[in-house]
């Protein structure tokens, strides 16, 4: 027994930004100029994280409302810089310097070094964007480096290398290292396959095409860095690629599921292979359509032309300084400065949902100094040279400082509204010509995307310390064997021990054999960390990914899309999610609107049921007016300034002009984009008909006037554009937001058809139009008082034009906005109407609808002229422009007449409210991170059940004068709502001098609706929801002090909504919670603006919706609908975590029981590292004997059935609380293995070590009792694994029995193989084993004794301390038809749910949106009814309209200002008298102006402010 057998088994700181400069102000002075004072408007919502540089500049220029004070600003700067240095989400290289882009100009001499090479700081990165991880050269070393991050792989490699030395060799060294090579190869193949797909996806985007200016005198001398040689480029010869100039086709769309650049692929734009060109063969296009100029000649290059033209060029070859031409519906390949567009006044419209998630179109304008560059010839003219002096590349989507410098030295400021960013899509604009400013990694969308992380599951991270514990145990065992062996040899060698005969060699003597024994012990006990564990986990996770893929419950039949696991190693993380961070647009909502109901003059119109498939409805064309023929349908005109072309271009034309149908002659209305249905109401139609035929002064006539006013406000108070669909010839509205389009379309559906805007003249078709003469009502647009988050309303002032086009009409103010804002501005005497309308608003809100309240007033001419003068002065003011404009606007928006209110449904994805309610009940906190406005986010929070009916909303705002500092707001919120939370006693929480200086006391403002809240505001039982905007997050994420407080405050709330946040802010918020709380996070989104958030979270889920595949490409799981997330987490996540955790600890157990038997044998073999088993039994331990049960656990075990988990979301808490895997369970199972190995070894050893078991009386052979031990250990391990499963299915029976059957069969067969075949040490063992009573009794006895402790413990727990899972399994076993949904809220396990929690959770939409709301920046408290209206604030389109009105106002001579006849108020929207029946014997008269149609309560008193000192 002393013979040593030499055998062993082979085995980015958030550089956020502020767009605070008022429109029209000059850009930041370039470095060559001294800084000039710049006035920053205190925007109520600062959109993004502040750049440290911006804060320093703000401090230097003394902007107190941005920084608070100099000390606070400097502290924010320093903390932000420190954050940047350590934030892995941000690019860590040195910031790139500012740049100057030379267009058709040579580079200056100082750009070159002494060798006449362009200096490094003036070399710009290429436009090639690569998301893949490997290249041909780096694949092997980088992949091996990643795989050897696992401690076990390093250990196996060391053991394999050790066995290459002959003294330690057990079997063939190549055979020893083969398992490790197989594991590494399989993992490398999987990683390589995924990366090849990323390369293919990169190529599909980088090889998209764009028109680039070539020929003529144009030269681009800006220096560009070389392109990277990628995996695919290295394998595909360049000459083959050169012949493939095709764009993205349907055949290779599938590759985008495996990763793509952030902008992904435009799924709604024109296909790249159908780009219109004049010369398709050579990809050349001419503006004037002339033939290609060929000079001919021997050395003439085929296809070249000296004439300026547009050449189709792939994206990755685009250079800084190139001039490009983009067509409608094409994606932007880089960040481009607009030179000229096809539209009047050089306006372009872009869709930015890939950047900020907003689907409303944004307007952008061309640089005024470059508008003459509208053809290829003009762009290539050597006299039209210029340069663009740009700031360094930065992450802020809304900030850009640059200037265009012309040859005469004149500088023109450039801001973000003149730039088209990569990732956006050109819409409603036939063409745009621009110059490339930033390419590739310098573009804003790439800067916001972060670095693709290499994610590892939480279970895998927890395994490393457990493997390390096992390695320490292995080291201790090896050291013990080495020491004891050395001591024994040195003791027995002088005594001439026979087993030490010949131990006198240099490599075999008592002094060195202890070290050799130590190394042999490492080989003997190496199975304590089995290599099969990792390959088993990979296989199980792959199967779990397939289970997810084939689950019909999360298969979206509408698109035929299954749920796809793109990262196979994160399935168990789905069962441990604590926080979900969700985007809103396209994730929770369909981003589709439906005009549902309205109330007019106290009468509700709920709408008839209409089919959403009905796309076009006729509206009729009124009879022709004077001067216009009846056959005007044939009239064709070019696009007006208000109606950008929306028609697709024919492939045969690329002209800069395009004829479209006249909206005035269209006879139908087509559904606007993102509007699901037309609005019909038979009652409303009957009321309009009755009003047309009503007698003047009757009730029907009065109601008709209110209807006329209501729908006229909807038809005129907006900024929507009118286009004509080229296929159907129907009007289609193009609005900046879906809800605005729904309002305008609803008016058209009723008969109030907005026919377009011809500069300042609005054309409106109404049912009350005169039956002869005028075809349309026409209004002169005087002013637009734009919607902002602070105003919560939008107004237009119009003058009704006479039938002859003259201006003899009245001036009307038309207004729409939030109910509380409109109600407090109404004239007295409308009590009953106000009360009725408020009841209707509450009813609308109870159905989850978003409301707007409408009103109007007549403005006397003298009053308007005086006000217009003050308004003009405010708009041209250089100081505090926005404050002055808002104050002047507020002057005229009073004494309104209430018309009614609208109710729009923002269509949620199916099952979203129920899914969020169940996820909250499962203990998961849901945060919504969106780029939308605060009101929009709150409205969606209500409708999705994120904000319950009794919840309290705490609002934290940032920026602007008059607002309380963010830190003070958070402290006030903690003090008022969470005084007993202990937050105020935390270290580092509290006020200091920098926080107090410049602070504002909290003000509590009582408004007209605050009485509905009462004194118990903040004490409602529904819990709290924190709403914080992007400007506040700028400060909250700036330093550790702010981050600590915002995190502590957020932890006290059931949900958090972050609005107006940038993509990078989303990632930083996720990182704040992930690192600050140590919680498991999941981020879900569907757009490119969600990529950073998805990558920052532990688990990223992408929704393959209408915003393309950008989020899917960067995600770990791809689903089609948000509601599928519930089953993905509660079922598959719960199952996967329970299965994998149970499998791993059982894996460790089954190996420790084997190693334990080997260890105990060392006591009796002189600690020589001798195997007790015959080597093949040890060799097959992890491959045949015991692998099946643990694999069966990983694949087929069910902690409880899926319908139970779906019906009882609270069961997820067991998984979320990490009950299935951890160090405690690991140590418990390890202890089980040690105890059972002792039972197996010592009982069998001493049984065989007494009287001989042989009938002939001879002593036993070692492999007699060791084979008995091996069989007993296999049976005990497999049955123990089976005992730890929760459901015994056929597969589990098979898995448990397989190893037992195999070891018995192997023993029987292996024992009868004669040594003539190959050397076998146990030939004839069956003759002694199967005839021995010891063999049979020992196996039965030790197996039962080994399993008995665990069996007793499980039985005791089930009988005396059952968990809710135990009860659920028992109930399901006894009553398979039991309805577990009745046992929710702790019905099974008596789980205590707080009173507050019960009220906030619900499976259905709340019945009333009466949640209290506290704005901590102003102290205002109110009741929210779901108000929302989204539009682009201070957009180019709005500025353009305002500038036209301002120019017209200045150009209008005083003599042209006509007098208006005095009239009463209700004449404003009076019905034309030709449509009324006059009373006999009485004079016809209009309804008195100042007499409301319905009585109402007295007007609410003006707001009263009560100041409370919070210091």
Alpha-carbon separation of residue 1493 from 139, 216, 600, 1011, 1465 (angstroms): 78, 71, 11, 26, 12
> Which element (helix H / strand E) includes 1395?
helix 1395-1400
Q: Among positive and negative, which fits the CA dihedral 391, 396, 399, 404?
A: positive
Cα 515 from Cα 22, distance rounded (Å): 78
Beta strands in 977-1126 (DSSP E): 1003-1006, 1024-1029, 1055-1059, 1081-1085, 1099-1103, 1117-1119
Are the CB atoms for 809 and 801 separated by under 8 Å? Answer: yes
Alpha-carbon separation of residue 1 from 11, 507, 1262, 1311 (angstroms): 26, 21, 8, 21
Closest alpha carbon to 856 in 1017, 643, 714, 961: 714
Two tokens at 52?
Answer: 């440290």
Beta-ladder partners of 213? 310
Pairing status of strand 1003-1006 against strand 1504-1507: antiparallel
- Residue 1039 is among the residues annotated as catalytic for this protein: no
Q: List the alpha helices (DSSP H) in 733-797.
A: 738-750
Q: List the catalytic residue out of 335, 485, 583, 1366.
A: 583
Are the CB atoms for 17 and 398 separated by under 8 Å? Answer: yes
- The C-alpha angle 450, 451, 457, rounded to 5 degrees, equals 115
Cα 750 from Cα 600, distance rounded (Å): 13
Q: Among positive and negative, which fits the CA dihedral 564, 570, 575, 578?
A: negative
DSSP string, 527-541: GGS-HHHHHHHHHHH
Cα 1484 from Cα 1178, distance rounded (Å): 109
782 φ/ψ angles, rounded to the nearest 5 degrees: -95, -50
3-state SS string for 248-305: CCHHHHHHHHHCCCCCCCCCCCCCHHHCCCCECCCCEECCCCCCCCCCCCCCCCCCCC
Two tokens at 1003?
Answer: 């003000």
Closest alpha carbon to 212 in 373, 330, 325: 325
Are the CB atoms for 331 and 267 separated by under 8 Å? Answer: no
DSSP-derived 3-state class of residue 1218: coil
CB atoms near residue 665 (< 10 Å): 21
Long-range pairs for 874-883: beta carbons < 8 A, 24 or more residues apart: 875/1442, 875/1446, 876/1446, 878/25, 878/39, 879/39, 880/39, 880/41, 881/22, 881/39, 881/41, 882/22, 882/41, 882/42, 882/43, 883/41, 883/42
Beta strands in 1339-1416 (DSSP E): 1412-1415
Length of the chain: 1511
Burial class (CB in 10 A: 0-12, 13-18, 19+), 1141: buried
DSSP string, 60-101: HTT-HHHHSSHHHHHHHHHHHHHHHHH-TTS--SPPPPPEEE
Cα 857 from Cα 252, distance rounded (Å): 58
3-state SS string for 1161-1190: HHHHCCCCCCCCCCHHHHHCHHHHHCHHHH
DSSP-derived 3-state class of residue 790: coil
Cα 9 from Cα 830, distance rounded (Å): 91
Per DSSP, 1088 falls in state G
1422 φ/ψ angles, rounded to the nearest 5 degrees: -160, 180
Residue numbers annotated as active site: 583
């Amino acid at each position: 027994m002393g013979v040593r057998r030499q055998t062993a088994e082979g085995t980015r700181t958030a550089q956020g930004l502020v767009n605070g400069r008022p429109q029209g102000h000059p850009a930041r002075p370039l470095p060559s100029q001294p800084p000039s004072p710049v006035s920053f408007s205190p925007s109520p919502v600062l959109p993004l994280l502040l750049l440290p540089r911006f804060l320093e500049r703000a401090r230097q220029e003394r902007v107190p409302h941005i920084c608070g004070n100099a000390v606070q600003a400097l502290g924010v700067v320093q903390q932000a810089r420190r954050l940047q240095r350590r934030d892995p989400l941000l690019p860590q290289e040195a910031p790139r310097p500012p740049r100057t882009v030379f267009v058709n100009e040579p580079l200056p001499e100082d750009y070159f070094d002494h060798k006449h090479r362009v200096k490094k700081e003036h070399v710009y990165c290429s436009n090639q964007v690569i998301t893949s991880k490997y290249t041909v050269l780096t694949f092997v070393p980088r992949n091996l480096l990643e795989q050897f991050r696992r401690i076990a792989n390093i250990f196996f490699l060391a053991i394999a290398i050790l066995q290459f030395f002959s003294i330690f060799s057990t079997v063939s060294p190549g055979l020893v290292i083969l398992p490790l090579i197989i594991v590494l190869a399989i993992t490398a193949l999987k990683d390589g396959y995924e990366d090849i797909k990323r390369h293919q996806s990169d190529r599909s985007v980088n090889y998209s095409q764009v028109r680039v200016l070539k020929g003529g005198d144009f030269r681009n001398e800006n220096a560009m860095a070389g392109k990277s040689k990628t995996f695919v480029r290295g394998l595909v010869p360049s000459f083959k690629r050169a012949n493939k100039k095709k764009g993205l086709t349907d055949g290779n769309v599938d590759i985008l599921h495996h990763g793509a650049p952030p902008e992904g692929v435009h799924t709604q734009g024109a296909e790249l292979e159908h780009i219109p060109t004049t010369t398709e063969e050579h990809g050349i296009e001419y503006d004037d359509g002339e033939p290609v100029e060929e000079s001919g000649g021997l050395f003439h290059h085929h296809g070249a032309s000296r004439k300026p033209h547009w050449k189709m060029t792939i994206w990755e070859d685009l250079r800084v300084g190139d001039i490009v031409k983009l067509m409608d519906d094409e994606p932007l390949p880089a960040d481009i400065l607009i030179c000229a567009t096809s539209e009047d006044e050089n306006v372009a419209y872009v869709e930015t949902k890939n950047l900020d998630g907003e689907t409303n179109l944004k307007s952008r304008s061309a640089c005024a100094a470059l508008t003459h560059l509208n053809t290829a010839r003009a762009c290539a003219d050597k006299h039209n040279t210029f340069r663009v002096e740009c700031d360094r590349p930065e992450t802020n989507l809304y900030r850009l400082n640059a200037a265009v410098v012309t040859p005469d030295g004149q500088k023109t400021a450039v801001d973000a509204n003149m730039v088209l960013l990569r990732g956006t899509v050109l819409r409603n604009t036939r063409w745009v010509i621009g110059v490339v400013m930033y390419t590739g990694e310098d573009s804003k969308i790439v800067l916001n995307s972060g670095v693709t992380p290499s994610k590892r599951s939480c279970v895998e991270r927890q395994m490393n310390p457990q493997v390390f514990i096992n390695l320490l145990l292995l080291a201790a065992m090896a050291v013990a064997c080495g020491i004891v062996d050395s001591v024994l040899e040195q003791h027995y060698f002088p005594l001439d021990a026979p087993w030490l005969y010949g131990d006198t060699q240099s490599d075999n003597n008592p002094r060195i054999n202890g070290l050799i024994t130590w190394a042999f012990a490492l080989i003997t006990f190496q199975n304590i960390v089995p290599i099969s564990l990792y390959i088993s986990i990979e296989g199980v996770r792959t199967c779990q990914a397939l289970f997810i893929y084939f689950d019909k419950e999360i298969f979206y039949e509408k698109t035929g899309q299954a749920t796809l696991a793109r990262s196979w190693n994160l399935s168990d993380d789905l069962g441990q999610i604590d926080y979900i961070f969700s985007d809103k647009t396209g994730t929770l909502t369909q981003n589709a609107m439906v005009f549902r109901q309205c109330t007019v003059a106290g009468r509700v119109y709920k709408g008839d049921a209409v089919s959403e498939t009905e796309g076009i409805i006729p509206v009729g064309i009124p009879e022709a007016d004077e001067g216009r023929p009846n056959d005007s349908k044939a009239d064709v005109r070019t696009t007006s300034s208000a109606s950008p072309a929306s028609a697709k271009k024919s492939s045969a034309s690329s002209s800069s002009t395009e004829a479209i149908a006249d909206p005035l002659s269209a006879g139908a209305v087509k559904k606007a984009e993102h509007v699901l249905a037309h609005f019909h109401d038979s009652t409303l139609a009957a009321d309009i008909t009755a009003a047309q035929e009503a007698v003047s002064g009757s009730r029907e006539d009065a109601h008709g006037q209110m209807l006329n006013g209501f729908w006229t406000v909807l038809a005129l108070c907006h900024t929507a554009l009118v286009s004509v669909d080229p296929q159907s010839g129907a009007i289609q509205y193009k609005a900046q937001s879906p809800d605005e389009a729904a309002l305008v379309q609803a008016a058209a559906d009723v008969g109030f058809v907005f026919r377009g805007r011809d500069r300042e003249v609005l054309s409106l078709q109404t049912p009350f139009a005169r039956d002869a003469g005028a075809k349309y009502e026409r209004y002169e647009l005087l002013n637009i008082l734009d919607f902002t988050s602070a105003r919560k309303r939008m107004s237009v002032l119009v003058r009704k034009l006479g039938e002859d086009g003259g201006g003899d009409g009245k001036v009307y103010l038309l207004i729409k906005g939030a109910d509380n804002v409109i109600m407090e501005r109404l004239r007295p005497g409308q009590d009953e109407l106000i009360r009725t309308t408020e009841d209707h608003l509450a009813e609308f809100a109870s159905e989850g609808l978003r409301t707007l309240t409408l009103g109007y007033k007549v403005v006397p001419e003298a009053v308007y002229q005086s006000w217009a003068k003050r308004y003009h002065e405010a708009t041209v003011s250089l100081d505090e422009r926005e404050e002055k404009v808002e104050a002047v606007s507020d002057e005229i928006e009073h004494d309104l007449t209430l018309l009614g209110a609208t109710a729009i449904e923002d269509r949620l994805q199916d099952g979203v409210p129920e899914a969020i309610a169940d996820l909250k009940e499962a203990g998961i906190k849901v945060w919504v991170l969106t780029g939308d406005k605060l009101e929009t986010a709150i409205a969606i929070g209500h409708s999705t059940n994120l904000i319950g009916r009794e919840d309290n909303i705490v609002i934290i705002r940032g920026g602007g004068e008059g607002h309380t500092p963010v830190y003070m707001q958070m402290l006030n919120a903690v003090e008022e709502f969470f005084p007993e939370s202990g937050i105020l006693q935390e270290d580092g929480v509290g006020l200091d001098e920098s926080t107090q200086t410049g602070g504002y006391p909290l003000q509590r403002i009582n408004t007209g609706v605050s009485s509905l809240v009462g004194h118990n505001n903040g004490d409602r039982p529904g819990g709290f929801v924190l709403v914080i905007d992007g400007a506040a997050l700028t400060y909250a994420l700036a330093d550790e002090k702010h981050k600590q407080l915002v995190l502590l405050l957020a932890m006290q709330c059931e949900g958090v909504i972050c609005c107006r946040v940038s993509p990078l802010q989303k990632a930083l918020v996720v990182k704040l919670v992930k690192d600050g709380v140590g919680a498991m996070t999941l981020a879900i989104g569907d757009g490119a603006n969600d990529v950073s958030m998805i990558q920052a979270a532990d688990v990223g889920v992408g929704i393959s919706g209408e915003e393309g595949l950008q989020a899917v490409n960067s995600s770990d799981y791809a689903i089609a609908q948000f509601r599928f997330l519930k089953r993905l987490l509660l079922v598959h996540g719960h199952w996967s975590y329970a299965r994998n955790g149970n499998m791993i600890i059982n894996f460790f157990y089954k190996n420790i029981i084997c190693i334990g038997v080997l260890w105990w044998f060392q006591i009796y073999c002189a600690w020589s590292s001798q195997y007790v088993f015959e080597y093949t039994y040890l060799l097959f331990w992890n491959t045949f004997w015991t692998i099946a049960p643990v694999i069966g656990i990983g694949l087929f075990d069910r902690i409880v059935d899926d319908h139970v988990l779906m019906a009882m979301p609270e069961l997820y808490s067991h998984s979320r609380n990490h009950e299935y895997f951890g160090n405690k369970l690991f140590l418990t199972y390890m202890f089980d293995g040690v105890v059972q190995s002792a039972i197996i070894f010592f009982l069998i050893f001493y049984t065989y070590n007494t009287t001989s078991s042989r009938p002939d009386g001879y002593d036993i052979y070692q492999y007699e009792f060791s084979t008995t031990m091996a069989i007993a250990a296999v049976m005990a391990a497999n049955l123990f694994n089976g005992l730890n499963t929760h459901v015994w299915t056929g597969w589990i029976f098979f898995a448990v029995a397989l190893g037992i059957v195999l070891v018995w069969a192997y023993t029987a067969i292996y024992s009868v193989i004669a040594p003539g075949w190959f050397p076998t040490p146990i030939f004839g063992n069956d003759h002694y084993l199967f005839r021995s009573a010891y063999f049979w009794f020992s196996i039965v006895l030790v197996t039962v004794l080994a399993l008995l402790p665990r069996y007793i413990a499980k039985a005791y727990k089930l009988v005396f301390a059952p968990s809710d899972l135990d009860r659920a399994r028992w109930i399901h076993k006894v009553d398979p038809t039991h309805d577990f949904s009745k046992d929710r809220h702790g019905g099974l396990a008596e789980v205590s749910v707080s009173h507050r929690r019960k009220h906030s959770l619900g499976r259905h939409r709340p019945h009333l949106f009466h949640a209290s709301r506290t704005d901590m920046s102003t102290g205002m408290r109110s009741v929210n009814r779901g108000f929302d209206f989204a539009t682009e604030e201070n957009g180019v389109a709005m500025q353009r309209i305002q500038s036209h009105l301002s120019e017209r106002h200045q150009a209008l001579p005083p003599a042209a200002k006509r007098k208006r006849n005095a009239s009463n108020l209700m004449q404003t929207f009076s019905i034309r008298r030709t449509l009324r029946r006059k009373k006999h014997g009485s004079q016809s008269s209009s309804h008195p102006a100042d007499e409301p149609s319905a009585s109402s309560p007295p007007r609410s008193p003006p707001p009263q402010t009560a100041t409370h000192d919070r210091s």
